[in-house]
Structure 1
Amino acid sequence: MPAQDAIDEAWGRLPPAGRTVETAGRYTSARMERIIQIVIAVGALVVGGQAFVASWEVYHAGVAHGVLHAVMFVAVVAMALLCVVGRGVRVAAATLAIVYPVALLAWPAVMGAVPPDPQTQPWIFYLVNFATLAAMLAFPLAWQYVWAVSMSVLYAAVRLAWGGFEAPYWVGIGYDVSFALIQGGVFVTVGWVLRSLAGGVDEARSQAVAAYARATSADAGEQERVAVAALMHDSVLAALIAAERAQSPRQRQLAVSMAREALTRLANAESDDREGSDEPVSRAWIAGAVERSAAELGVPVVVSRADGGDDDAEVVPGRVARAVVLAATQAVANAVQHADAAGLAVSVSREGEGVRVEVSDTGPGVDVAAIPADRLGIRASIFARMAAAGGEARIASGARGTRVALTWTGENPV
């Protein structure tokens, strides 16, 4: 799977973060925004309820007061409910933030000519910081601080003007406004800190994902390089070497078969489904595939099969089976090229819950440790291929011949 597809799939498994989520990169920020909305909704219902109870003391103030009263509390309840739902929050919050100063300015007119007692807190004071909280949900940070200060100052100005700026009003109103200013500043600052922390987490996650994508891309490129190198050796170089060394009709037939195989594999190298299906296959299928591959190389081999009673059980994943067959084919080709297929024998048996394939010959043998690093016939086409499939390759070679054992136990399926 390409790196970007893997990353997209991983992000797609994250739980939805509410209606405000636009991209996976804002996951923590969106979660934090939902938390802030829920907290504000709870506060709106609790403190708004207190204001509503206090407002009943002046329910008889007249029709104009009733309209103002209804507009304010409908705006508060609408914002609280939409915060819970997670839809239309910014619109509702902006509406409340604008409605409150308008209602505050109209409040003296709808209440009548007699100002309230300077020592009492009218119901509209309970909502002074609701405009600030609404601004937190609707406006940028600078405007949030503007609202936190201006709403308190506006409330003080309205009450003092209504009370004729008389001395008794200054003390009570000064206390109320100081409390409102501190509370509003704390609300805005805490919200800014929480959002900044969430944004930092999202930024760190984005950087980590980008680093992972680069590492995955580099690893995919390296795996592709190894795969291409193995393909080049298995098919192209092996065919060229066989053609160069061909002396007898049998060797020339082998070179022709290897060249045909090389052309086929190169033609299919860019196919999207070149890996084939990963549906499990049986050990019998592997034995038959090795026989067919050897026949294509011009080497008729009858693969012996151990009587395990479940030779037809489909237990080996398709990708593993193809890796085993290709590695075994390379081992057969090595036996033909370097040992002239002397005593060539291939067997397939059960290994754990998987498979074991052995390719042996009675040729002069080879020192595996002395093979140069740029010779990929054993290193890439056998060892690396089996390791990539979660299996293992072992080669024992001496004066009496060479034995290549390819095993996949089923404990590390890919």
Structure 2
Amino acid sequence: MTSPRSRTDSSAVDEAWGRLPRLRGAEPDLGSFTRHRIERVLQIAIALGSVFLGLQGLISALGTLATGTVAQNALVVVTFGSLAAMLVACVVGRAVRVTAGVFIGVFAVVLVVFPVVNVGLYTSPTEQPWIWFLINVATVASVLVLPLPAQIAWTILAPLMFGVIRLIGGAFDPSFWLSLALDVSFALILGGVLITLGWLLRSIATNVDETRARAVDLYARAAAADAAEDERVAVAALMHDSVLAALIAAERADTPREQALAVSMAREALTRLANTDRDASEGSDAGRTSDSIADEIEAGAREMGADLTVRRRVASDAADVPGRVARSLVLAATQAVSNSLQHAAGAGLEVSLEADGDPVVVVVEVRDDGAGFDVGAVPDDRLGIRASIIARMAAVSGVGVVSSGADGTRVRLEWAGVASA
């Protein structure tokens, strides 16, 4: 059930953090808020810049559609069609990586086949083909889909490929070299600036997310440690004010009335100590059947996600159990089930209830097949066993016994009533 931990100074905060209750299946997701927003900003910015460059290329390409061949027109349609799909995806924020990857692939193929399809065209060094206007659109598109090393490689490769196809189209005429050197240099510089901005923004966003996640984690750990310390102070005050007072009263009790009062004070102190971990009063003392106790244990287990059936053996002449006793049995058994689910994953978890006749004796046992632990090594300030099980049963004149070993853990809760007259 409640397994011992090594208690070093460096692990004190970790242990306090581990005590925070968590919903099943819920994990914090704090590490990508700023990165997501930066990604969205990049998508919109790239879309806007690509629209202006793409329009220039489209205007240039439209002038060749009327006189172009089927192959030449097909290159225009495929290139600008894939570009339009990427722009729409960037605006709506859907399928951005896919459409950007398709556009880069299409553009790379168009660069390779461009000099073959456009033989005899663009022979003047001052006449730029429409594909020139899309060079940096293709390089900045890599920011949306490729890792940084691939972005750098593509930003260098695309302008160089453009320079080669222009030289091929101009038959390597020396008049092309100077203008191409300027064009390729401009494309390389602009592409380098664009991918650098993308890398810089993403790095800042990642650092912000990581810093914020660490801050939230440290705050949660500090809050958990503070809550644990408050609990220790509250328990210490309770022990001092209630338990110590009960012991002093018991020591000084001489008359039967004083002894009865001391017993009442001790029971109240134990009940308060047992209920430190939850807002649970003694409740009504009206009689409760043993079957109702088993039903409440099953309901408590279901609330913790365990589909548990309590095995019952209730004698036909078993008397009702006082309400405060029934409540203590239910809470102690539920705590034992909770410990088993938390520390043994509920392996082999079984709960049984036996109730005999007059005088009524109720025995509840909770077993599991977990790895077990050393009961004596559990720290004094861990209330899962001492307060929620042992002290809770002692408060109603019952007995709670916890035994554990390599074959599992067993919690036995027993309460015996007084024979009726």
Q: Same fold (TM over 0.5)?
A: yes
Name the amino acid aligned to 2:177: W
Asked if residue 232 in structure 1 is aligned to residue 239 in structure 2, the reply is: yes
Name the amino acid aligned to 1:53: I
* Aligned length in residues: 263
2:144 maps to 137
1:62 maps to 69
Q: CA RMSD in A?
A: 2.6
CA distance in 1, matches of 2:32, 2:219: 18
Name the amino acid aligned to 2:206: G
Contact 2:19–2:224, Cα closer than 8 Å, also in 1: no
1:194-343 aligned within 5 A: 194-271=201-278, 273-274=279-280
Quote how far apart the aligned CAs of 1:112 are.
3.4
Contact 1:28–1:201, Cα closer than 8 Å, also in 2: yes
TM-superposition CA deviations, 1:75-108 (whole Å, max 9, x none): 1111111112222111111111221111111112
Quote how far apart the aligned CAs of 1:3 are.
6.6
Quote how far apart the aligned CAs of 1:247 are.
3.1
Match of 1:177 among 184, 206, 214: 184
Q: Which has the higher contact order (CA 8 A, sep 6+)?
A: 2
1:186 maps to 193
Structure 1 residue runs of 5 or longer lacking an equivalent are 13-21, 277-414
2:52 maps to 46
CA distance in 2, matches of 1:5, 1:28: 29
Q: List 4+ stretches of structure 1 deviating above 6 A.
A: 2-9
Quote how far apart the aligned CAs of 1:217 are.
1.6
2:129 maps to 122
Name the amino acid aligned to 1:40: I
Contact 1:78–1:92, Cα closer than 8 Å, also in 2: yes
TM-superposition CA deviations, 1:253-291 (whole Å, max 9, x none): 3212111212322443444x5499xxxxxxxxxxxxxxx
Name the amino acid aligned to 2:228: G
1:27-106 aligned within 5 A: 27-59=33-65, 60-106=67-113
Asked if residue 160 in structure 1 is aligned to residue 161 in structure 2, the reply is: no
CA distance in 1, matches of 2:170, 2:42: 37
Query: Helix, strand or coil for the counterpart of 2:32?
Result: helix
Name the amino acid aligned to 1:44: S
TM-score, scaled relative to structure 1: 0.59
Query: Helix, strand or coil for the counterpart of 1:170?
Result: helix
CA distance in 1, matches of 2:132, 2:71: 18
CA distance in 1, matches of 2:141, 2:104: 5
Quote how far apart the aligned CAs of 1:136 are.
0.9
C-alpha spacing 1:78/1:274, structure 2 compared with 1 (3 Å) = farther
Query: Helix, strand or coil for the counterpart of 1:25?
Result: coil
Name the amino acid aligned to 1:122: P
Contact 2:104–2:142, Cα closer than 8 Å, also in 1: yes
Contact 1:239–1:258, Cα closer than 8 Å, also in 2: yes
Quote how far apart the aligned CAs of 1:125 are.
0.5
Q: Identity of aligned pairs, percent?
A: 48
TM-score, scaled relative to structure 2: 0.58
C-alpha spacing 1:275/1:193, structure 2 compared with 1 (3 Å) = farther
C-alpha spacing 1:5/1:196, structure 2 compared with 1 (3 Å) = farther
Name the amino acid aligned to 1:183: L
C-alpha spacing 1:140/1:227, structure 2 compared with 1 (3 Å) = same
Contact 2:107–2:138, Cα closer than 8 Å, also in 1: yes
Name the amino acid aligned to 2:150: W
Structure 2 residue runs of 5 or longer lacking an equivalent are 1-15, 283-421
Query: Helix, strand or coil for the counterpart of 1:65?
Result: helix
Contact 2:35–2:205, Cα closer than 8 Å, also in 1: yes
Quote how far apart the aligned CAs of 1:114 are.
3.5
Query: Helix, strand or coil for the counterpart of 2:198?
Result: helix
